[in-house]
Amino acid sequence: MNITRFLFAASIGLTCITVHAEDAKTTDQAKPKITFEEHVKPIFRQHCLTCHNQSDKRGGLAIDSYGAMLEGGGSGDVVYDDGDIDASRLWQLVNHDDTPVMPPEQPKIPAEQLAILKAWIEGGILENSGSQAKAKKNNALAMATPATGKPEGPPPMPMALPQKVPVVTPRASAVTAIGASPWAPLIAVAGQKQIVLYHGETAELLGILPFEEGIAQSLRFSRDGRFLIAGGGEHSVRGIVAVYEIENGTRVATIGDDLDTVFDADCNDTMSRVALGGPQRMLRIFDATDGSLLFDLKKHTDWIYAVAFSPDGVLVASGDRSGGLVVWEAATGRQFLDLIDHKGAINSLSWRDDSNVLASASDDGTVKLWDMVQGKAIKSINVNGGAVTAVRFDHKGQLVTTSNDRKARLFDAAGNQTKEFPPLPEAALEAAITHDSSRIVYGDWTGTVQLTTIADPPVATPLAANPPPAAERLQVVEQTLASIRTQLEPLAVASQAAKIKLDEAQQRMNEADAAVKAAMAAVQASQAKEQSLRTQSQQLREKLPAMTTTSRDTHDAVIAARLALGDTTDAAKTEAVAVAELSLAKLMTEIAETRRGLVQSLVQAEAEKAVMAELTAKVKPVEDALAQKRAEVEAMKKAFDQAQQAHDAVAATMSEQERKKAALAAAMQ
Amino acid sequence: MIRTRRVVAAQATNHASLWLAFYLIAFAVSMVIGHTATGASPDAAVSQPDPQKTIQLDVYPPTITLNSASDFQSFVAVLRRDDGVTLDVSDRVRWTLDDDKLARLDGHILRPVADGKTKLSARYEGALVQVDVEVQHAAETPEISFTKDVMPVLTRSGCNTGSCHGAARGKDGFRMSLFGFDPQGDYQRITREIGVRRINLALPAESLFLKKSIGAVPHSGGKLFDVDSDYYATLHRWLQAGAPNDPAATPPPAVTSVAIYPPQVVLEGKAATQRMVAVATYADGTTRDLSRLAAFSTNNASVAAIEQDGIVTADSRGEAFVMARFDTHTVGSQILTLPEGLQYSPPPAQPGNYVDELVDLKLQKLRIVPSGPCTDEEFIRRITIDVTGLLPTEEETLRFTADPAPDKREALVDQLLSRKEFSEIWAMKFAQLLMIKSSNEVSKKSALLYANWLIDQFARNVPINEMVHDLLTSTGGTFSEPATNFYQVERDTLKVSENVAQVFMGIRTQCAQCHNHPFDRWTMNDYYGFTAFFAQIGRKQAEDYREQIVFNSFGGETKHPVTNQNVAPKFLGGDAPETNGKDRRVVLADWLVSPENPFFASSIANRVWAHYMGVGIIDQVDDIRISNPATNPELLDMLGKKLIEYNYDFRKLVRDICVSRAYSRSSQTNETNAHDTRNYAHAVIRRIPAESMLDCLCQITEAPEKFSGLPLGSRAVQIADGAVTNYFLDTFGRSPRVTVCDCEASTDPSLSQALHLLNGNSVHDKITRSNVVKKWLEQEKLNADQILDRIYVRALSRKPDPAEREAMQAMLAAEGANAQQVLEDVFWAVLNGREFVFNH
């Protein structure tokens, strides 16, 4: 009794201690510790252990002890200690993300218990209260910064493409392939013996690449966007891969010679390897430069539906009709990973830009994301639209899918659906996303292909996989041309009128300018005149002292002469006096004249100054008039420029149309 | 549809005035109904046969309806001579249309022109037959329907057979449902799988589907038809229209029946031909010519071959059955081929029961003269083995052969039928069919109780219908109600239903579990409808761990694997009864044993017949299907009726069979019946079944066998538990009781059988161990000749012939011969002879 009591007391004490310790921890982590022994095992006991105990081990899995659980089951590990819930097979099955749902043929485990399981897995599958969680790793879906492969210079766009339509059909067949350039607004759609290229923004038909081998089953652009890789051919007859240069549409290589069509083909980053697969079940890798077969890889047990090189060219993935998915080393042809999880045909494969994640779309209704480092599925996206027919990554790691329920969907980099696009008339079969992630292109069984903006509201533009023949398009171009011409005519007239007005205004401005110049000249002349008068006056003034001095000298000479004469009548002396007096008189006259001249000049200068002021006053209005005329001219010029621009713009489209017309006309011949 | 036709019958004959007068009267009356012009009554013809006289002109099909602009119907005229030989006279008949504005004749094909009703007249040597023709919707060309038009082309071309795309995993990556049991699935696979792999709606002619079938691209199945064929046109038109599916709301009408004409053909001479015409009738009343769509086949190509255009060509003498398969229907027509210029005079009529009447009728048709009666020695040995599984004793044989009474054979039959061995044989046969055998599921005690129950049923002569009813409706513990072991031996619901169909109706439904039966009428709907009767069987553990309790749980359904819907219980070839609140098994059992079920009585009768006659009227006895027809349907029918009439007491039926002339024929053949094994023109030689053979060996060597769990001296026939066996029985083909197939008990020869008789312990040891020869020599003081007689009479029911006797004398006369040893050797030799091993 006593002992019991003692123990009781002790346990209370211990409890107090642990409580304190836990308090400290919870403040650390702000989360209670979920452990296997304490929280999870009771849930397992309730729902799972009847089958998954260590004696029965259904599916090779026992989860009645922590150690046994870590060993995993027949299909590998069921939980991971890095907190990765999406990768946990156990979670996928109990959360009904994947099949077979667990527990089988019973209701789903209640939500609150699921929450505990989730917290436990995310918390690092702790065994007991003493266990420590591992540091949580970065989300595998966090994309490493990839080497983009974006080419130097402007993104490659077609310059001159063939326009001839090899086969004209009134109806399009089910769409087999859609491709989008990774760097340019350029979209390729497969048709009958042709690949139709459209502008990714305007939806304008840029050209048609002939594919006389049959129907292209896959369209992929090279990493730099300069080449288009088309795999396809004629069913049961021949399969090839054709590589086209985008700028001029020439086929630069034709690789492979399969006995049945090629369902998918891809080139590596350096365009040195081509991989293809089809109903022959062989993944074949060719040297792209000389077309020689490098590897003939036999592993798939059913038709290969999808083939894709990783963007860095290191790996190549291939998926087949029975759900087999294999990743190979591109350089050696050795198997790198055998990814087993899909329960239906794999219809499409796409790599994320960083080459670490591969997306596979399957008939089992899921898109699975596979991590190349861990070698396992890190996410299984339930698309909820029946068989998933296509999947494509964009540069941001977003995914676009199409599925049997006729819809296209967009998922963010974490695999959450962000958008659902309007349905097409039938099962959607192919999808692509444009280089700037602004639009998606998707097509269906009826051959309907739509270019749809991602921004709301979605604006859909149809793209035809069966373009009308060149002649028909020529007609359309001619019609456009005619309508442009009628548009252009009034514009030309308006522009002409503006020109005339401008010229007139110019004329008027010139006149005003001349008037201003004349007025200015008059002022200047007057100023010069005044100046010269003043100068003259100055000169006269400067002459005066010398003359005065000379006159004084001359007067002195007169006096002297007179004195010398005195009252004599000496003629000579008188003469001399006369001469002196005459000279003085002359001099004096001269001085007087000078004085007068001086005054007169000044007076004249003053007068001229008045004239100048008058003239200067006249300049201002003339100048004002000129400014006005100049403004008028500016306005006219503007008007003219506008008219001219309007005209030129239309004229440019006309010349574009004319170029098209010429190309089409050439194509028709 | 108007079925009345006015037939103006006349025959250009040069008969006596009496005949002429008759014809005139016939002409005056001239109101014969049917597509037949008959000139004389068949009775008159038989009494005064004139082989070349023609008595009947028939035109098929009996009415013609044309339902659209693209519809057409071929027709055929058949002349039946007095001797039964039929001639295809389509080319010799003058065909006219009353109103040729409504339809037009294109060879032997009628094509529509305008709506209305008219008549097609066939004139041949003064005989006139008229067939009603109705043209509807002559201006309309219906759209191509996938189910109604495309699927038949694929089926006819063989695309969906088991060796091609109909295989469970498809062929070369393309799978179709076997014989088209799942048209919607096929539509999805053809049009939707892998985008445009199979169809190309932009360029229909580029569709792989078409290019493969015309051999334009490599195709494992080869070329199936030409570009200019109507098959190609149908598929191409469908693709041009955009490969539409049939609207789910208004599906195309289902095929309600298929007919093949003429119903019976008798061809004379090799290379004689007859064109067959097949017509389908749809639920909306429209008809369709199947000459280009049905798949034709024959069950005996060496007698009558049939091409896919429906032309039958005779070959060697015999009997064949040609079939037309379309949609889920298979129909057949009997073809008899006779050598040209055969001289035949029917044997004089002899008294006999209905069995002989019907057998003889068939033999007359085939111009076969039956063998004569067997000897008394042969008869007593044959019937004793057949009825009791034992050999007649020496005394019985001698008494019978010496009996001067004219009805001694009937008396012998009656006497043998009253023996308990008769019911033991049948109890054993049914024990084999019911697979009575101890196993993990069935304890030894259950198996014994079950076997005892069965033996008791036969011993008490419980009518077979009651027994089967009790068996099917059994409820309770496997100890207290041993019949419940029926549901314990086989616990799988699907297999239970298959077993019931096979054992009690003679029908093998297994095919229809996964696809419509390719050569019979059974569809998956029929299969799962029938299975639904067994969906509510409950089982639980009884107090004794070896005992299970079988009960009706009133819950549980059967799902159709294609539609994934519950299927309501439906009798096989019958109605869907109301089963709410009832034990479904009771509903089924009531119907199964009732005369409304056409299969129960006749299939049981067929099993009985086959046991005594060596080969069933339908062979195998548990493989009744349209494509495996009865050689003598009238006889089978009559036997079934008699069984019902006898209140299912088949002892009486056995008597009818065993007292017939047909049963007691000699096994010696004559020129006319040597080729025939199916029409009972001579006795069929059969190896004695394993159990009976061992019993016979024990009987005549007086050396009993010891079987596990049974007292010494028990006979092999009495072994209740199928798990109890011995080497002899296994070697000689005793039924292992693993399946319900009648074929499990085998009488096929094997080397080990021969070696076992020669060297094994069964014969030699029994002779020496029992010391029977010594006993005869020493106790009964018989001389060698008497012992030889005894050996022969015991083993072969006859006395040795002089040569045999001389051979023994030579051996006895040899120096140092020991009489006992020589006689034992003789005994051994007789038992190793073929005469002993066979019932002849």
Q: Say yes or no for a CB contact (<8 Å) between B192 and A191.
A: no
Q: Say yes or no for a CB contact (<8 Å) between A174 and B201.
A: yes
Q: Is the pLDDT of residue A11 over 60?
A: no
Distance CA A60, CA A69 (A): 10
Q: Say yes or no for a CB contact (<8 Å) between A173 and B203.
A: yes
C-alpha count within 13 angstroms, C-beta hemisphere, residue B773: 23
Query: Which carries the bigger pLDDT value, residue A520 or residue A145?
Result: A520
What does the pLDDT read at residue B552?
93
- Note the helical H segments in B63-206: 151-156, 183-191
Q: What is the mean pLDDT of residues A201-225?
A: 92
What does the pLDDT read at residue B359?
93
Given a contact cutoff of 8 angstroms between Cβ atoms, the answer to whether B221 and B158 are in contact is: yes
CA distances from B315 to B197, B268, B319, B338, B508 (A): 45, 9, 10, 9, 31
- B470-528 per-position pLDDT tens digit: 999 999 999 999 999 999 999 999 999 999 999 999 999 998 998 888 888 899 999 99
* Chain A residues close to B195, C-beta within 8 Å: 174-176, 217, 429, 445
Given a contact cutoff of 8 angstroms between Cβ atoms, the answer to whether B488 and B478 are in contact is: yes
What does the pLDDT read at residue A1?
45
Q: What SS3 class is residue B84?
A: coil
Residue A466: CB partners within 8 Å, gap ≥ 6? Answer: A168, A169, A170, A171, A172, A173, A191, A192, A447, B202
* Chain B residues close to A302, C-beta within 8 Å: 173
Residue B552 CA, chain-centre distance (Å), reads: 34
Pairing of strands B566-567, B558-559: antiparallel
* Chain B residues close to A234, C-beta within 8 Å: 217
At CA B792, angle to CA B789 and CA B795, rounded to 5?
145
Q: Does A234 touch chain B (CB under 8 A)?
A: yes
Mean pLDDT over all residues of chain A? 86
The residue to which tokens 């480092």 are assigned:
A373
* Identity of the residue numbered B202: A
Distance CA B110, CA B136 (A): 13
Closest to A174 (Cβ–Cβ): which among B195, B203, B219? B195
Sheet holding B318-326, edge to edge: B264-268, B329-338, B318-326, B295-298
Which tokens belong to B789?
Answer: 């007689």
**Lowest-confidence pick of A385-394, A593-602, B638-647, B714-723:** A593-602
Residue A20: CB partners within 8 Å, gap ≥ 6? Answer: none
Distance CA B1, CA B5 (A): 11
At CA A598, angle to CA A594 and CA A599, rounded to 5?
125
Closest to B200 (Cβ–Cβ): which among A173, A236, A303? A173
Strand ranges (DSSP E) for A18-125?
none
Residue A111: CB partners within 8 Å, gap ≥ 6? Answer: none
A128: left (phi over 0), alpha (psi -120 to 50) or beta: beta
User: Which H or E element spans position A411?
Assistant: strand A408-411
Chain A: residue nearest B188 by CA? A427
Q: Say yes or no for a CB contact (<8 Å) between B195 and A445.
A: yes
- How many CB pairs below 8 A link A and B? 55
- B793-804 per-position pLDDT tens digit: 999 999 999 999
What does the pLDDT read at residue A570?
76
Chain B: residue nearest A430 by CA? B195
Question: What distance in Å separates residue A259's CA from the closest CA in chain B?
Answer: 10
Q: Does A602 touch chain B (CB under 8 A)?
A: no
Given a contact cutoff of 8 angstroms between Cβ atoms, the answer to whether B648 and B708 are in contact is: no
- B349-407 per-position pLDDT tens digit: 888 889 999 999 899 888 899 999 999 999 999 999 999 999 999 999 999 999 999 99
- A20-43 per-position pLDDT tens digit: 444 444 444 456 788 888 888 888
Which tokens belong to B765?
Answer: 């040891």
Chain B: residue nearest A404 by CA? B192
Nearest to B154 by CA among B169, B164, B143: B164
**Lowest-confidence pick of A6-15, A534-543, B269-278:** A6-15
* Chain B residues close to A261, C-beta within 8 Å: 197
Q: Does A235 touch chain B (CB under 8 A)?
A: yes
* Identity of the residue numbered A323: G
Chain B: residue nearest A191 by CA? B202
Q: Say yes or no for a CB contact (<8 Å) between B242 and A192.
A: no
Mean pLDDT over all residues of chain B? 88
Distance CA B468, CA B470 (A): 5
* Chain B residues close to A303, C-beta within 8 Å: 173
- Note the helical H segments in B537-668: 584-592, 600-613, 633-645, 650-658
Closest to B202 (Cβ–Cβ): which among A172, A303, A429? A172
- B692-722 per-position pLDDT tens digit: 999 999 999 999 999 988 899 899 999 989 8
- A517-535 per-position pLDDT tens digit: 988 898 888 888 888 888 8
Given a contact cutoff of 8 angstroms between Cβ atoms, the answer to whether B752 and B731 are in contact is: yes
What does the pLDDT read at residue B371?
92
Question: What distance in Å separates residue A389's CA from the closest CA in chain B?
Answer: 10
What does the pLDDT read at residue A30?
54
* Chain A residues close to B203, C-beta within 8 Å: 167, 169, 173, 192
* Chain B residues close to A259, C-beta within 8 Å: 218
Distance CA B182, CA A527 (A): 116
Q: Is the pLDDT of residue A569 over 80?
A: no
What does the pLDDT read at residue A531?
87
DSSP A73: B
User: Which H or E element spans position B134?
Assistant: strand B127-135
DSSP A204: -
Q: Say yes or no for a CB contact (<8 Å) between A235 and B197.
A: yes
CA distances from B790 to A433, A659, B367, B395, B827 (A): 100, 118, 42, 10, 10
Q: Is the pLDDT of residue B167 over 80?
A: yes
Which tokens belong to B138?
Answer: 């002559």
Chain B: residue nearest A387 by CA? B193
ipTM for the assembly: 0.71
Pairing of strands B109-112, B103-106: antiparallel
DSSP A135: P
Query: Which carries the bigger pLDDT value, residue B75 or residue B37?
Result: B75
Nearest to A43 by CA among A108, A133, A96: A108
For B344-390, the DSSP string reads --PPPP----HHHHHHHHHHHHTT-PPP-BPPHHHHHHHHHHHHHSS
- A404-441 per-position pLDDT tens digit: 999 999 999 888 999 999 999 999 999 999 999 999 99
What does the pLDDT read at residue B52?
59
Which tokens belong to A527?
Answer: 């100023």
Q: Residue A392's beta-bridge partner residues? A: A400
Q: What is the mean pLDDT of residues A306-327?
A: 94
What does the pLDDT read at residue B54?
63
- B281-303 per-position pLDDT tens digit: 999 999 999 988 998 999 889 99
Q: Say yes or no for a CB contact (<8 Å) between B206 and A429.
A: no
Euclidean distance between the first and final Cα of chain A, in Å? 112
DSSP A503: H
Question: What distance in Å separates residue A165's CA from the closest CA in chain B?
Answer: 14
DSSP B316: S
Given a contact cutoff of 8 angstroms between Cβ atoms, the answer to whether B674 and B628 are in contact is: no
What does the pLDDT read at residue B590?
94
Q: Say yes or no for a CB contact (<8 Å) between A236 and B217.
A: yes
Question: What distance in Å separates residue B167's CA from the closest CA in chain A?
Answer: 16
Q: Is the pLDDT of residue A10 over 60?
A: no
* Identity of the residue numbered A652: A
- A449-477 per-position pLDDT tens digit: 999 999 888 889 999 989 988 888 888 88
Q: Say yes or no for a CB contact (<8 Å) between A235 and B192.
A: no
* A-contacting residues in B 170-229 (Cβ below 8 Å): 173, 192, 195-197, 200-203, 206, 208, 211-212, 217-219
Q: What is the mean pLDDT of residues B329-345?
A: 87
Nearest to A206 by CA among A156, A154, A159, A243: A159
Closest to B173 (Cβ–Cβ): which among A169, A215, A279? A279
Q: Say yes or no for a CB contact (<8 Å) between A173 and B192.
A: no
What does the pLDDT read at residue B646?
94
Q: Say yes or no for a CB contact (<8 Å) between B201 and A215.
A: no
Q: Say yes or no for a CB contact (<8 Å) between B206 and A237.
A: no
Radius of gyration of chain A (CA): 49
